[in-house]
Each structure stands twice: as C-alpha cells, then as structure tokens.
Amino acid sequence: AKALAPGEVLVLENTRFDAREEQNDPALAAELARLGDVFVNDAFGAAHRAHASTEGLAHQLPAVSGLLMEAELNALAGAVNNPSRPFVTILGGAKISDKIGVITNLLAKADSILIGGGMANTFLLAQGMELGDSLVEQSSLDHAKDILKQAQERGVKLELPTDLVVADAFDANANHKVVPADGVEDGWRALDIGPQTVAHFTQIISAAQTVIWNGPMGVFELEPFAKGTRAVAQALADATTTHGATTVIGGGDSVAAVEQAGLAPSISHISTGGGASLELLEGKELPGVVALRDKE
C-alpha cells in the first residue's frame, strides 16, 4: 500500500476468505487499517453485517460513508420515515416468514400494503380460502392472521389478490388459466397475480406519492407468469414519470424484473442491498452504519 503512486488502486482478495472477517476480529480490522488513512464505507449491501471490514474497521480509522451509502440511506430511510402520502408498499416473494418484520414495521407507517407472490397465498389461506397445490407456509398462518387483524385495527389497507394465474405444474409449458382467488382447485397452483388484481394494484400505485417495492408478484422467471411483476414495474415507472412519485425498489428479484423490462431509468431509486434493504425496512439499525454514525 505504501508503494502506491497517485491515482493507483490496491484491490484486496475477498475478505471472507479470512475466517476473522465474519468474526469481526479487531486484529484483522487493525491489519486493514494499516493500509490507509481514511475508511470510506460504500458497501451498503453489506452494511447489515457486523464484520471486520464493515463495522470493525470503522473503529480503527477516521470513517465516513461513501456516495452510494448516502444515496441508499437517504432513499430508503427517507421513504419509510418521512414519506409523501399516499405511501404505498408492495411486498412479494415466496415466503411471508422472510418479511414479517418488514410488514410489522410498515403497518405503522404505510397507507396501503399490496401483497403478491407466494406470500399472498398464506394470507389467503388465513382468510379461509382453498389454494389447491399452491405454496403456503402453514407455520406462518398465525402470523398472517395477526397481521390482517393489525391492519384492520390501524386502518391500513392490506390488499390481497382477488384473482390468480394458476398452473397444473411448475413449468413454463404447463396448462395455465385465471381463476378467482378462492377458486384454486386441487392439482393447480398459483404462480402469478391475475389481471383483475393487476388493474387494482395499478390504480392504487397511480395515486401514490411514495412507493416502496420488494419482491416479485409471481414466478416471473417463467414467461407465462411474469405479467403481474412486469405490470407493477410499469406502474411504478409511470407514477414516477407522470406525477413525480418517489419510487424505491428494495433489492433482490424486483430489481432484476425492472431491469429486464428496461424500466430502471424511470425508477427514483433502485437499491443495491438485499438483506440490508430488508433490515432497514424492518426498522433495524445496520451495524455498518451505526459504526459510521459513532464517528460523527
């Protein structure tokens, strides 16, 4: 490091190849600190991990956040904690268990929460609907019932699919059709939200001033079941470009869907963090950020 000329960059090996990294070993942090004079943490995607290169190093050197870190925190924390209203959150993906903390936190902040993807099935089952062979989390049924009750008590509109695209196999070439949410027969499984739900969700998004989206509406990797996710992506892009809504996509598969559709330039902010974004949406403090704040 001392031999670097102006304008040169030293690139290190993956720090996780050293077992001390994930242990947040002060000795490794001290070794890293000897390579520079100032620590700039621009790794938002790893900010939720208390590792030697993300949290420990901040205690060894003058430390500041990088431009990406600042942009991520301003966009995500700003949208959650100081949103222009109506504030709409869209949550999808396979499992409700992955997002219980997010939903619980947003119930206190959002005006509407739109639920799609596999996690919607568990909510529909909690309302007594038959879901055929659809993916459901039996272990999360009580959580789903509790969330539905909390939403009602708080006056938050928790919107579930009213129709679904179902297939007789988990396959792009499977037979598929649109059915009401309470009309999934045995031998069929829900793989996307239906056109009626798409229209309803689009209407809600079009009236929003702040939108946060995390998780696809269906199995968008398979073409017949990608329409719901693409429609939501288009609705966010339209809300941004037509009336200046703040739209934030919180990492993961939602980002891939938006980029596939070529809509990324029309979204206010696309997060680079998966787990970090989720923990921020849960209202948790991120160790890598707290360590920087301690230096202020």
Per-residue pLDDT of 126-173, as tens digits, reads 999 999 999 999 999 999 999 999 999 999 999 999 999 999 999 999
Confidence at residue 251, expressed as pLDDT on a 0 to 100 scale: 67
Using the predicted structure, report yes or no on whether residue 294 has a pLDDT greater than 90.
Answer: no
For the chain, what's the residue count? 296
The full set of domain ranges for the chain reads 1-82+272-296, 85-244
- In DSSP notation, 163-203 reads EEEEESSSSTTS-EEEEETT-BPTT-EEEEE-HHHHHHHHH
What is this structure's pTM?
Answer: 0.91
Q: How many CB atoms lie within 10 A of CB 6?
A: 4
Between CA 207 and CA 91 the distance in angstroms is: 18
Using the predicted structure, report yes or no on whether residue 114 has a pLDDT greater than 70.
Answer: yes
Residue 186 has φ and ψ, to the nearest 5°, of: -60, 140
Residue with tokens 């050197």: 61
What's the pLDDT tens digit per position in 230-254? 999 999 999 999 999 999 998 678 8
According to CATH, the superfamily of the domain at 85-244 is Phosphoglycerate kinase, N-terminal domain (3.40.50.1260)
Structure confidence at residue 296 as a pLDDT band (50, 70, 90): low
Confidence at residue 95, expressed as pLDDT on a 0 to 100 scale: 87
Amino acid letter, residue 103: I
Structure confidence at residue 1 as a pLDDT band (50, 70, 90): confident
pLDDT (average), residues 255-276: 92
Residue 167's beta-bridge partner residues?
176, 189
Confidence at residue 2, expressed as pLDDT on a 0 to 100 scale: 81
Cβ atoms 148, 158 nearer than 8 A: yes
What's the pLDDT tens digit per position in 204-217? 999 999 999 999 99
If DSSP codes are grouped into helix, strand and coil, which group holds residue 214?
Answer: strand
Confidence at residue 198, expressed as pLDDT on a 0 to 100 scale: 99
Please give the helix or strand (H or E) that residue 242 lies within, else none.
helix 227-243
Q: What is the mean pLDDT of the chain?
A: 95
According to CATH, the superfamily of the domain at 1-82+272-296 is Phosphoglycerate kinase, N-terminal domain (3.40.50.1260)
What's the pLDDT tens digit per position in 44-87? 999 999 999 999 999 999 999 999 999 999 999 999 999 999 99
Tokens of 56: 């420990």
Residues sharing a CB contact under 8 Å with residue 152, sequence separation 6 or more, in sequence order: none
First to last CA, the chain: 27
